[in-house]
């Protein structure tokens, strides 16, 4: 069979199709030329080149330049296929997915960070609020980690703002605004008309109620008096001294030296001892003090008025002074000597009672310390003032104290002719000279001493034989 004859009808049919399409294209191109901008010969693009090639091919066909062969049809098919949109490659699809995941990841991270920031702000606000509430409650209740006393002075007819500011500046309160709200609220309940000027001794351990009552009490205690507590005075004598100066009743003051107050740092070292007569004897520091006069007591010494509050203010002022006088170096020295605070104060009170000058105090202290270090060879300190304390202050008032320990046990615990070592408690309130004499005692070989009661001369001895000779010199034998 002739192949050329078989292909001819096929080519004729295709020629008609191409001629028809060419005519349609020609009409479409004429329309496009009118709509688009003029051709820019400097601008090249693959699509434009393809359009021109196709256009020339179609023109040639329409002008009868020859029928297309199979190769030309194949090329036409390729040109038409180039004009159809290409599908996205796998790399493009994967890149788009990766970009999408990255964007979603960033959004998630930002959301997490935002959540953390919001939570942090909420937590900070909660902690801050909790801290403020805790501080306010502690302030209101008078609970302080650093306990101290301070004397303040209010101007005449001070405003509530002035009072709150002065209390805050002196560390008595930490929240002036809350204190003012408290006073305003109490003013309606108790008809508080205002504060008056004057000097006041306040403690960081006082709650709001005590502070207000103390400041208002000045209306009946505006007069002050200076009172001097002398070295060696007993707690009982100090109570009488305050009563004689109309500060408070002696029996009310007694409440604050019979037992610990647990207010000051030094009290942590004071051990409760059932053999002690007065738990706080020895800690009423000798000094000059200024106290308010209780007008009711001054007008009528036998008044039924309860002066416990006035007694508490006086006691706290005295103990605060003691607390400020005992330093860390003194505590360290006590430890080096091997004495507790109670033993140190008791020993100091004995030195204070025996002699009245610093040189002799150091020598007497050396005698007591030498006996304590004698490994039991001379176990008793044998100090006469301890006997006098039992006779003058323990035995006469024992029944009034309501103690559970028997009088005999307490008396023997103080009498250094009966007990070994340091007595159960102090026999008076020593001053700094006596205290420092114990901490810095002379280095001697003395185990005995005695004094001439008329001249005050003190004699020291190493042995009992020498001591007996000194007793004759002192007019004691």
- Quick: pLDDT tens for 238-264: 999 999 999 999 999 999 999 998 889
Query: Contact 351/426 with Cβ under 8 angstroms?
Result: no
Contacts of residue 247, Cβ cutoff 8 Å, sequence gap at least 6: 225, 227, 291, 292, 293, 294, 297, 310, 311, 314
Residue ranges in the chain whose pLDDT is less than 50: 2-8, 10-11, 35-86, 190-191, 220
Contacts of residue 419, Cβ cutoff 8 Å, sequence gap at least 6: 380, 412, 413
How, if at all, do strands 448-451 and 224-228 pair? unpaired
DSSP H helix total and E strand total for the chain:
19, 6
Q: At what angle do helices 432-439 and 358-372 cross, to 10 degrees?
A: 50
In 3D, which of 201, 203, 219, 210 has the Cα closest to residue 156? Answer: 219
Superfamily of domain 149-323: Endolytic murein transglycosylase (3.30.1490.480)
**Sign for the pseudo-dihedral over CA of 284, 290, 292, 296:** positive
Residue 448, strand partner residues: 461
Predicted structure pTM score? 0.59
How, if at all, do strands 288-292 and 198-203 pair? unpaired
Query: Contact 350/425 with Cβ under 8 angstroms?
Result: no
Q: Residues 430-465, buried b or exposed e (16+ Cβ, 10 A)?
A: bbebbbbbbbebbebebbbbbbeeeeeebbbbeeee
Query: Contact 314/247 with Cβ under 8 angstroms?
Result: yes
CA–CA distance, 288 with 277 (Å, rounded to integer): 26
CA–CA distance, 354 with 360 (Å, rounded to integer): 9
CA–CA distance, 9 with 12 (Å, rounded to integer): 5
CA–CA distance, 378 with 447 (Å, rounded to integer): 8
- The pLDDT assigned to 240 comes to 97
CA–CA distance, 344 with 265 (Å, rounded to integer): 16
Contacts of residue 440, Cβ cutoff 8 Å, sequence gap at least 6: 333, 362
Query: Contact 293/314 with Cβ under 8 angstroms?
Result: no
Q: Which residue has the tokens 């029996």?
A: 251
How, if at all, do strands 224-228 and 198-203 pair? unpaired
Using CA atoms of 12, 15, 19, 25 in order, give the dihedral in degrees to the nearest 10. Answer: 150
Query: Contact 414/390 with Cβ under 8 angstroms?
Result: yes
In 3D, which of 258, 236, 239, 259 has the Cα closest to residue 250? Answer: 239
Query: Contact 253/313 with Cβ under 8 angstroms?
Result: no
Residue 196, class by beta-carbon neighbours within 10 Å (0-12 exposed, 13-18 middle, 19+ buried)? middle
Question: In whole angstroms, how far apart are CA 422 and each of 251, 356, 412?
Answer: 29, 20, 12
CB atoms near residue 467 (< 10 Å): 18
Using CA atoms of 462, 466, 471, 475 in order, give the dihedral in degrees to the nearest 10. Answer: -120
CA–CA distance, 374 with 381 (Å, rounded to integer): 11
């Amino acid at each position: 069979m002739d192949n050329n004859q078989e292909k001819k009808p096929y080519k004729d049919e295709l020629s008609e199709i191409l001629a028809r399409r060419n005519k349609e294209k020609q009409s479409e191109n004429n329309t496009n030329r009118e709509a688009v901008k003029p051709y820019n010969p400097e601008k090249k693009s693959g699509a434009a080149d393809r359009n021109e090639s196709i256009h020339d091919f179609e023109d040639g066909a329409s002008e009868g330049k020859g029928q297309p062969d199979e190769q030309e049809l194949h090329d036409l098919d390729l040109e038409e296929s180039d004009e159809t949109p290409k599908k996205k490659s796998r790399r493009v699809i994967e890149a788009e997915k990766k970009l999408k995941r990255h964007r979603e990841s960033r959004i998630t991270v930002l959301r997490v960070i935002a959540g953390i920031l919001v939570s942090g702000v909420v937590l900070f606000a909660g902690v801050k609020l909790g801290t403020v509430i805790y501080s306010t409650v502690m302030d209101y209740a008078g609970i302080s980690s650093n306990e101290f006393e301070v004397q303040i002075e209010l101007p005449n007819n001070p405003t509530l703002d002035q009072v709150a500011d002065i209390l805050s500046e002196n560390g008595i309160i930490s929240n002036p605004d809350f204190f003012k709200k408290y006073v305003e609220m109490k003013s309606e309940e108790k008809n508080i008309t205002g504060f008056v000027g004057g000097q006041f001794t306040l403690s960081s351990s006082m709650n709001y109620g005590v502070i207000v009552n103390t400041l208002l009490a000045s209306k009946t205690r505006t007069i002050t008096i200076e009172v001097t507590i002398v070295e060696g005075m007993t707690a009982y004598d100090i109570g009488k001294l305050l009563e004689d100066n109309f500060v408070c009743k002696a029996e009310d003051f007694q409440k604050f030296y019979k037992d610990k107050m647990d207010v000051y740092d030094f009290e942590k070292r004071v051990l409760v001892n059932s053999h002690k007569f007065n738990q706080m004897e020895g800690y009423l520091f000798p000094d000059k003090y200024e106290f308010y006069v209780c007008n009711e007591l001054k007008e009528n010494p036998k008044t039924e008025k309860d002066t416990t509050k006035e007694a508490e203010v006086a006691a706290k002022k005295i103990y605060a002074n003691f607390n400020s006088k005992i330093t860390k170096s003194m505590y360290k020295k006590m430890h080096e000597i091997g004495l507790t605070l109670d033993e140190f104060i008791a020993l100091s009170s004995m030195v204070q009672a025996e002699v009245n000058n610093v040189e002799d105090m150091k020598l007497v202290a050396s005698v007591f310390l030498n006996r304590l270090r004698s490994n039991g060879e001379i176990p008793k300190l044998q100090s006469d003032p301890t006997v006098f304390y039992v006779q003058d202050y323990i035995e006469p008032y024992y029944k009034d104290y309501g103690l559970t320990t028997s009088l005999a046990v307490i008396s023997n615990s103080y009498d250094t002719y009966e007990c070994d070592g340091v007595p159960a408690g102090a026999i008076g309130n020593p001053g700094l000279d006596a205290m420092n004499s114990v901490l810095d005692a002379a280095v001697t070989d003395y185990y005995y001493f005695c004094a001439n009661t008329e001249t005050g001369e003190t004699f020291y001895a190493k042995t009992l034989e020498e001591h007996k000779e000194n007793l004759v010199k002192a007019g004691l034998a």
